[in-house]
Chain A
Amino acid sequence: GAVVSQHPSWVICKSGTSVKIECRSLDFQATTMFWYRQFPKQSLMLMATSNEGSKATYEQGVEKDKFLINHASLTLSTLTVTSAHPEDSSFYICSALTDLSGNTIYFGEGSWLTVV
């Protein structure tokens, strides 16, 4: 199946700093990528939909100025958590849509963010 790689897997940052998470489709072009967040014992929650070459669409309650999404190429989307705070500590995971897979979305491995 299609491969989506996410980096870093783990990151610890200081409160107030920014951290960038990358999501790459390795063997296909992804016109659309999705970013999810998962808090402990909760389900994956969609944060935003990222379309190549255009602005991301954010879900209700997700601050677009805090969670900057860039989808500059067909194989790369980035999520930058700006001015991170401890409450932003969570598991973040991306997924990508490919025309090759019908209506199946492929996921990255996820990134654990801890803000101290």
Chain B
Amino acid sequence: ILNVEQSPQSLHVQEGDSTNFTCSFPSSNFYALHWYRWETAKSPEALFVMTLNGDEKKKGRISATLNTKEGYSYLYIKGSQPEDSATYLCAFDSGTYKYIFGTGTRLKVLA
């Protein structure tokens, strides 16, 4: 059974703090690793699609890295803002579109 783990499950940070989360995934049959940002009552929003080992992608204050050999990806948020509060999901993609999701990291940024 393929398992995707995310940690921590939840965290609270102060506005302006930087933070990071981890997504661990199987190192075999890897095609891509997806990061989504999910606000309550909204659709999950695609942040990054990571495909190559050593990939680093950036979108504003958010960036992500990928290590396919050891099976992990980090998501970083620099200078957290209240509007960054959301659940961040990662999904393992073996190339079949049958994503395997982690349980997410719930981030709350306190003003």
Interface on A for B, CB 8 Å cutoff?
1, 4, 9, 32, 34, 36, 41-46, 49, 59, 97, 102-110
Task: Give the size range of B's interface with the partner.
Answer: 20 to 34
- Cα distance A109–B39 in the bound complex, in angstroms: 10
A11 to chain B, nearest CB (A): 15
With A32-B97, A42-B103, A97-B97 as contacts: A9 and B43 at CB distance below 8 Å: no
Q: Are B98 and A46 in contact (CB under 8 A)?
A: yes
Which A residues touch B49, using CB under 8 A? Answer: 102-104
Q: Are A43 and B103 in contact (CB under 8 A)?
A: yes
Which A residues touch B42, using CB under 8 A? Answer: 109
Which A residues touch B36, using CB under 8 A? Answer: 107
Q: Are B41 and A109 in contact (CB under 8 A)?
A: yes
Interface on B for A, CB 8 Å cutoff?
4, 31-32, 34, 36, 41-46, 49, 89, 93, 97-104
Q: Are B97 and A9 in contact (CB under 8 A)?
A: no
Q: Is the interface of A mostly helix, strand, loop or mixed?
A: loop
- Cα distance A41–B104 in the bound complex, in angstroms: 9
Which A residues touch B46, using CB under 8 A? Answer: 1, 104-106
Pull 8 A–B residue pairs with CB atoms less than 8 Å apart, ordered by A: A9-B41, A43-B100, A43-B101, A103-B32, A103-B97, A104-B34, A105-B46, A107-B36
Q: Are A108 and B93 in contact (CB under 8 A)?
A: no
Q: Are A107 and B43 in contact (CB under 8 A)?
A: yes
